[in-house]
Copies of this chain bind each other. A is one copy, B any other.
Amino acid sequence: MSGNGVRKTAILLMHCPDQSGIVAAVTDFITVNKGNIIYLDQHVDHVEGVFFMRIEWELCEFIVPDDKIEEYFHTLYAQKYKMYFRLYFNDYKPKMALFVSKMSHCLFDILARYTAGEWNVEIPLIISNHSDLESVAERFGIDYHIFPVTKDTKDEQEAKELNLLREREIDFIVLARYMQVISENFLKHYPNKVINIHHSFLPAFIGAKPYHAAYERGVKLIGATGHYVTTDLDAGPIIEQDIVRISHKDTIENLVHKGQDLEKIVLSRSIEKHIERKILTYKNKTVIFS
């Protein structure tokens, strides 16, 4: 929800071994150098002994030049505290590629938000293994590239996709009900940068046909899970989950229908958190700043 007319800010996401004095040190660095802190949230995982922080400050009077902040911060703090950190600026619009197959509900939801200017993001292209949603892409004036995938052509097609993503300088990928498993090799190029929506309340009903499995088990709630894709199927870090109540009256068709509303909302919330730089991943879990 960053927009026009807002002041330029820097956003720092970091984690490091927990120790006293970090908050004071980092906030002091910013304040002393005339940065105006507008957001600070931190979290300590006492089990792992890890400190996490997200801090955002206005740059208008900050005396360190934008292109030197990373270097200075690295030299003065990151080394000392053994920090892993990433620095972002709010005036950069990240580039998101969409992967789709045949179902349109998530795609429409994302493109509607995009058209309305809800998110600080660019969508340069859509990739699909099918032609079904080409007309949707056309309506919104977005390039649509078809890469049919079979067992034999998978490596080759993924290589082409990666080329295209590189050419268009894509920052992260959203699988909007894309019905193909992404290879380990592909994921190496986008670590914790591929967001998927799984149509169940993970870890229940991993794999294909979760609504059928939910129907068979007779559950009273169905869910959806937005997560980063890792090589372990449906087991990547969870970003967001939600559920909806069902009953014995619901057929599998009803579950699919009710689930679609969940899927699109949960996926869009996950994307938004990613765009807003509010997610830190650590081991196989996420810290989601508010």
A residues near B (Cβ < 8 Å) are 1, 20-21, 23-24, 27-28, 30-32, 35-38, 40-47, 104-105, 108-109, 112-113, 115-116, 118, 136, 139-140, 201-205, 217-221, 223, 237-243, 245, 247-249, 251, 253-254, 257, 261, 265, 268, 284-288, 290
Q: Known: A37-B23, A290-B249. Contact between A201 and B218, CB under 8 A? A: no
Q: A290 to B38, Cβ gap below 8 A?
A: no
Q: A24 to B21, Cβ gap below 8 A?
A: no
Known: A23-B37, A243-B243, A290-B290. 19 other contacts (CB 8 A): A1-B254, A23-B27, A24-B28, A24-B31, A43-B249, A105-B112, A108-B116, A109-B112, A115-B136, A201-B204, A202-B219, A204-B204, A218-B284, A218-B285, A218-B286, A219-B238, A219-B241, A220-B240, A265-B265
Distance between Cα atoms of A27 and B43 in the complex (Å): 15
Q: B37 to A31, Cβ gap below 8 A?
A: no
- With both beta carbons as reference points, the residue of chain B lying nearest to A141 in the complex is identified as B139
